[in-house]
Structure 1
Amino acid sequence: MKLTIYYDGQFYVGIIEMVSGKTLKAYRYIFSAEPKDQEILDFINRDLLKHIEKHDQKGITIQNDLPKKVNPKRLQRMVSKEMKQANISTKAQEAIQEEYALRKKEKSRKNKHQQEELKRFKRELKIQKAKKKHKGR
């Protein structure tokens, strides 16, 4: 599990990347305007697992191209290179975009259904009003 925190111009955003087996799952958490270290630690210790359970998703399958046994010096170089990079992995961005797309589709379905119900209700009111006028009331 990896937590990357970056500033997106308005808020600090935490990207949680989880690799289990050959699937990568990425979650997004928005912190306040300027979170303190204690707030971040509280999130990690208390709310991280709840956030992951709440926003469960399929994940993206990945292929590990790295060999099983890695030279310690190479591993150290890789770690230092990763520490210098503050970017989020593109796979994590893909996972988050897929989640947004699914939510958007779900939301549009609900909105269409609500609009149809509203149209049907208004139509029935007009019909009832016309009947009342026809009866002379």
Structure 2
Amino acid sequence: MYLTVYFNGQFWCGLIEIPSRQASASVYHYIFGPEPKTAEIFAFIYTILPQLIATTKDQDAQATLSPKKRISPKRMQRMLNQQKKQPVVSTKSQLLLQQQHLEKKAQTKKQQKEQKQQQKQQRFEQKQQKKYAKHRGH
């Protein structure tokens, strides 16, 4: 189970992801409101989260989970480090927004480069005209 607390621009939200062995995973969204303190997060985990999961709990999915094997400490540390390296963004809409932002950034950079090239070309042409005007004679 993963709990990600993030600020969406207006409120502090919690995104709870519960992976399963099947193709689907359970995802819950909770709005904290103002910035939650550590005690408020723990209170949410121990009181509200179990109620939230219980209301939408799928009995069949719970029955298919196998008992967990003991994981060696080194393997657990490697797994945690891999999860830390993964981006925090976890919803498709956030990924799409990020992709759009990167595309817009690339497009702006391309336009600025073209504009700079045009200005450079104009300055060169002005210099050439000035040079020809000087050598024309009277």
Using the size of structure 2 for normalisation, the TM-score is 0.46
Q: Which has the larger radius of gyration?
A: 2
